[in-house]
Amino acid sequence: MTHAGSAALLAQMRKLHPAAIDLSLDRTWRLLEALGRPQDHLPPVIHIAGTNGKGSTQAMLRAGLSAVGLKVHAYTSPHLVRFHERIVLAGEDISEPALCDLLGRTLAANNGRPATFFEATTCSALAAFAATPADWLLLEVGMGGRMDTTNVVAHPALTMITPVALDHQAFLGDRIEEIAFEKAGILKRGVPCIVGRQQDAALEVIERQAARLGVPLQVRGEHWHVRQEHERLVFEDETGLLDLPLPALPGPHQIDNAGMVLAALRHLGFGETACEAAVTQATWPARMQRLRRGPLADLAPGAELWLDGGHNRHASEAVAATLRSLPDRPTFLIVGLLNNRDPAEILTPLASLAAGVTAVAIPDEPDGATPEDLSAAAQGLGLPAATADSVEAALRAIVQETPSARILICGSLYLAGSVLRENG
C-alpha cells in the first residue's frame, strides 16, 4: 500500500470525535475491550509522564536497552515527519502495510462510535505492541497522566515523572499542584517511580499520592544525584557512582534527563554497558538538533543552524541554557507558534540572547499564530522583529545580513516537523 493508505485511515479517525482533546477513559476502555484487551498482553512497561523531557528520556532508555540486545517497543506523540514514528515495534517504525492493517482493524472494532484521534491511535498502538514480541515497552503519556489514554496498564514495571511545569492549563489546571496531581495519576500501587527535578509544590503532591498508594519513590536529590563535573557526567545512587561521558543530546537539561534514565536502569538491574549507551547513543530529532546537511542547511553554509520543538516556557528556558553554553555568536530566531500559545512565554527566556526574530507561519497548520502577531509580541519584548513567507525566506534574509549567524528555528513541534520534511 502507498502512504496515502494510512493517511486516509488516519483521516477517518480524526472524524470520529468533534474534539481533538476530551480527557476521559470511558471511550478508551470500550475500544480496548472491542480490540481484545491488548493492554493485558504487553511486554514489561515503563510509563513516562511529565511536562518536558519525556521524549529525550524515552530516547535514552531505548538506546540503553537496545545496546544490551533487548527488543524495545516505544510509543510517543506527536510525530515530526510521519505518523509511523509514533509506533516503534522492536526498534523499527511501524511499516506502512502493518499500520494500514492495524488502523483498519481498529476502525472496524470501533464501528463508528465516538473516539478522539489520540484515543483511537493509542488503542491501535497498544494492539500492535501486544501482537509483536519485545522485551520492553516505553510508553509516553500524551497529556497529563491520570485521564490519559495510555493510563490503562494495570501493572507497569516502572513509572517515571519528568519535570512538571505549567502547560495545557485549559485541560490540566492553572496551578502547578493541579498539574502535578494529573501527572501523578500514572502512579500504581506498589510500582516504583523515578522522579526527576521538581518544584517543591509539585514534589509534595507526587509524594502525597505515592504515600497513599505505597509507591516506592526514587527522587532526584534524595535517592540519586547527577551533575556535570570536568566535562563528564557523574551519577550517584545507593549502589555507587558512575562516571560517564556527557550526553549525546545537547543542552545542560539533558544532564537531568540522563540522571532519570540512569536511576531507572540501575533500579531495573542494568549495568554500565546499558547506562553508558543510554547517555552516548541516544538520538532525538528537533530537540536542540544541529542541522548540518540538507537543502535548508545548504542555504547558510557559514551559519550554525539549530532546530528545537519546545513549546512552553520551561522548554524555552532549557533552550536558553543550551544557547548560553555555546560559544558566543550572533543569534537569530525563526519562530512559529500555534495560536493557543503565549508568544511572550516562549520568547522571554530567549530575549536576552537574540539579536533578532523572524516570525513565520507553520505550513499547513490552520491553528497557527499569524507572523504579524508573533512579530508584534517580539517587538513588545524589545526585540528587532520581522516576518517572512517561509522558513527558507527567513533564512535567506538572515544570512544575507549576518553570514556567520547562529540561527535557531523554534516554537513548535509542528514547525520542527515541517522543517525536517523540507530539509530532507
Helix, strand, coil abundance in the chain, percent, nearest 5: 45, 15, 40
- For residue 315, name the pLDDT band (cuts at 50, 70, 90): confident
Higher-confidence residue of 184 and 4: namely 184
Position 2 scores a pLDDT of: 41
131-135, 305-309, 337-341, 415-419: range with lowest mean pLDDT? 337-341
- For residue 169, name the pLDDT band (cuts at 50, 70, 90): low
pLDDT at 168 over 90: no
Could you tell me the CA-to-CA distances from 336 to 74, 163, 309, 420 in Å, in that order? 28, 24, 10, 14
What is the pLDDT averaged over residues 318-346?
94
d(CA 139, CA 188): 15
pLDDT at 195 over 50: yes
- For residue 172, name the pLDDT band (cuts at 50, 70, 90): low
Strands 356-359 and 331-335 come out as: parallel
Q: Could you count the other beta carbons within 10 Å of the beta carbon of residue 224?
A: 22
d(CA 166, CA 321): 19
For the stretch 251-279, pLDDT in tens is 999 999 999 999 999 999 999 999 999 99
Position 19 scores a pLDDT of: 79
pLDDT at 377 over 70: yes
Nearest to 13 by CA among 106, 148, 149: 106
pLDDT at 182 over 50: yes
Q: How many residues does the chain have?
A: 424
Cell of 166: 505549567
Share of the chain above pLDDT 90, in %: 90
pLDDT at 1 over 50: no
pTM, rounded to two decimals: 0.93
Q: Which amino acid is at 150?
A: T
pLDDT at 53 over 80: yes
Position 23 scores a pLDDT of: 78
SS3 160: strand
What is the pLDDT averaged over residues 368-395?
96
Position 166 scores a pLDDT of: 76
SS3 153: coil
Share of the chain above pLDDT 70, in %: 97
Contacts of 399 (CB under 8 A, 6+ apart): 299, 300, 302, 303, 405, 407
- For residue 221, name the pLDDT band (cuts at 50, 70, 90): very high
Position 20 scores a pLDDT of: 73
pLDDT at 190 over 70: yes
Q: Could you count the other beta carbons within 10 Å of the beta carbon of residue 104?
A: 15
d(CA 2, CA 44): 33
Chain-wide mean pLDDT for the chain? 94
Position 311 scores a pLDDT of: 80
